[in-house]
């Protein structure tokens, strides 16, 4: 199969908006929430989808999409399987970066920091807010491990449905819960004409955020 398009010639000129020192908030979490609100209002397809990058003990990076579920005063919260590949990476190296790309708004946000598990009660509350089918799914899927077939997964799902049939509330598995990325670096990128994009970076030291502009 060959590509049917000349992908080298695909290019878009970005011209929707500007990001200026005057317009950006002094608090990067407020700036982030403002942009996320706009992404949601603009009905972008998955406004809370982010690319989470982690690194293994032997320094191999890997990345995958997860969904942002909260922006707390600590940072950016997402939920997953603690025994997954990302979970194992984070157990060894509790660092990561997350990237949002809101194409329709010509915006990217890059965030870096340390990552830790959220408190068990935060995971419990979110777990129980999910549809029962997703709760069963968290028990049935040994995320990131090799399985023999789709049927194996469906058999596990049926088993846990049966096991928990008499319970009003599916218990949260110990291997499933939230993480919070505590930001130390937050970069806001706004596409501009002629590839001369705006990049404003916030860096945290001693609980103070400083701000600078980077060349695109």
Q: What is the contact mask toward ligand FMN in residues 3 to 42, using x (rule: CB under 6 A)?
A: ----------------------------------------
17 annotated as a binding-site residue: no
- The DSSP code for 5 is S
Q: How many residues bind ligand FMN (CB under 6 A)?
A: 16
Question: Measuring CA to CA, how many Å separate 78 from each of 30, 64, 116, 118, 181?
Answer: 19, 12, 11, 9, 9
Which of 17, 29, 34, 49 lies at the binding interface for ligand FMN (CB under 6 A)? 49
Least spacing, CB of residue 79 vs ligand FMN, in Å: 6
The DSSP bridge pattern shows strands 176-190 and 76-81 to be: antiparallel
Rounded-to-integer distance, Cα 157 and Cα 138, Å? 9
Question: Segment contacting ligand FMN (CB under 6 A): 8-16, 58-66, 126-134, 148-156?
Answer: 58-66
Q: Please say which residue, 133 or 193, places its beta carbon nearer to ligand FMN.
A: 133
Q: Establish whether 195 is a catalytic residue.
A: yes
- Cβ closest to ligand FMN, residue 136 vs residue 200: 136
Q: Which of 195, 204, 211, 213 is catalytic?
A: 195
Considering the rule CB under 6 A, would residue 65 count as an interface residue with ligand FMN?
Answer: yes
Binding mask 136-155 for ligand FMN (x = CB under 6 A): -------xx-----------
CB burial of 165-203 (b: ≥16 within 10 Å; e: otherwise) equals eeeeebebbeebbbbbbebbebbbbbbbeeeebbbbbbb
Binding residue (CB under 6 A) for ligand FMN from 31, 53, 80, 97: 80
Among 40, 67, 147, 158, binds ligand FMN (CB under 6 A): 67
Residues sharing a CB contact under 8 Å with residue 194, sequence separation 6 or more, in sequence order:
13
Alpha-carbon distance of 151 to 155, in angstroms, equals: 6
Q: Dihedral through CA 182, CA 35, CA 105, CA 194, nearest 10?
A: -70
Q: What are the residues binding ligand FMN (CB under 6 A)? A: 46, 49, 62, 64-67, 78-81, 84-86, 143-144
Residues acting as catalytic residues: 195
């Amino acid at each position: 199969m060959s590509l049917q398009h000349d992908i080298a010639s695909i290019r878009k000129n970005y011209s929707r908006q500007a990001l200026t020192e005057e317009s950006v908030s002094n608090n990067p979490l407020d700036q982030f929430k403002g942009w996320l609100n706009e992404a949601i209002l603009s009905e972008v397809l998955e406004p809370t989808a982010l690319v989470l990058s982690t690194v293994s003990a032997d320094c191999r990076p890997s990345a995958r999409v997860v969904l942002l579920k909260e922006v707390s005063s600590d940072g950016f919260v997402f939920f997953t399987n603690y025994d997954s590949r990302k979970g194992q990476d984070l157990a060894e190296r509790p660092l990561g970066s997350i990237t949002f790309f809101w194409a329709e708004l010509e915006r990217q946000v890059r965030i870096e920091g340390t990552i830790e598990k959220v408190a068990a009660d935060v995971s419990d509350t979110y777990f129980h807010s999910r549809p029962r089918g997703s709760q069963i799914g968290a028990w049935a899927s040994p995320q990131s491990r090799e399985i023999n077939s789709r049927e194996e997964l469906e058999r596990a799902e049926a088993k846990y449905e049966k096991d928990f049939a008499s319970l009003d509330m599916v218990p949260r598995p110990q291997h499933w819960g939230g993480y919070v990325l505590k930001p130390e670096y937050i970069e806001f990128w706004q596409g501009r004409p002629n590839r001369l994009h705006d990049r404003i970076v916030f860096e945290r030291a001693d609980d103070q955020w400083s701000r600078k502009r980077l060349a695109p």
